[in-house]
Amino acid sequence: MMQTKLLVTLISGAISASAVAGSHQELITATFEQLDENSNGMLTVKETSSHTIQQYFDSIDSNEDKRISRNEFNAYLVANPEHFDNDVQDTAQPGAPGNLAPEPVTKRAKQIADNKSSVIDKEAAEASEEMRSLEVKKQEVVTDYQFDLIDVDENGELSKTELEEHGTGEAFEEMDKDDNKVISRTEYDTFYQHAKQDQQE
């Protein structure tokens, strides 16, 4: 029992000492650029040996290649901002892996996006116009078929009698725009195109 108490006391003491030591660690005050003496984009043990960052080196070096990349530096900074002073926190590169700061939208990127958007709008308008054109052509085919079906004597004109036999005689006067008592193919097509537009509205 005495041994258990002693063990618990020792463990508690070790944890407390560790916590105190951790709270007294110095903040990293040098930026990545300041530490990267040869400007090769990597920090070596030698480059960091005289700086506070040395005590965090193994934790920052996530791939354990004995070098710290800009991405590793940023990722550690974002995950552990309490280890860095405020000036260093402000130097994290936007858009780097591990960095929560969004990539700034450049003027060129916005211009490209706007151009793509206008191209898409133009293509959509063209597609919509093409659809309308197809609808008109489809309607023309249907009305031509109907005209030929009603034109029993095949003279290229529809009489009131022919329309009445087809069940559409009541619209004769409205179709006969030139009042010549017969309906031409153009008059018939125009009447049904207008009727279709009225239905859509």
Q: What's the mean per-residue pLDDT of the chain? A: 75
Pair (94, 142) in one structural domain: no
Token pair listed for 137: 């052509």
Quote the domain boundaries for residue 61: 24-103
Reported as a single tens digit per residue, the pLDDT across 47-71 is 888 888 888 889 888 888 999 988 8
Give mean pLDDT, residues 72-101. 67
Asked, for residue 120, whether it belongs to a domain, the answer is: no
Prediction pTM value: 0.36
Asked, for residue 119, whether it belongs to a domain, the answer is: no
Give mean pLDDT, residues 133-142. 81
Cα 96 to Cα 186: distance, rounded to the nearest angstrom = 67
Token pair listed for 89: 């926190």
pLDDT at 171: 85
Asked, for residue 48, whether it belongs to a domain, the answer is: yes
Pair (38, 90) in one structural domain: yes
Highest mean pLDDT out of 23-27, 68-72, 118-122: 68-72
The CATH number of the domain where 160 resides is what?
Answer: 1.10.238.10
Pair (150, 195) in one structural domain: yes
Highest mean pLDDT out of 135-139, 152-156, 166-170, 190-194: 152-156
Asked, for residue 9, whether it belongs to a domain, the answer is: no
Asked, for residue 11, whether it belongs to a domain, the answer is: no
| Whole-number CA gyration radius for the chain | 41
Q: How many domains does the chain have?
A: 2
Q: Which of 74, 28, 68, 19 is nearest to 51 (CA)?
A: 28
Asked, for residue 114, whether it belongs to a domain, the answer is: no
Pair (38, 83) in one structural domain: yes
Cα 102 to Cα 128: distance, rounded to the nearest angstrom = 37
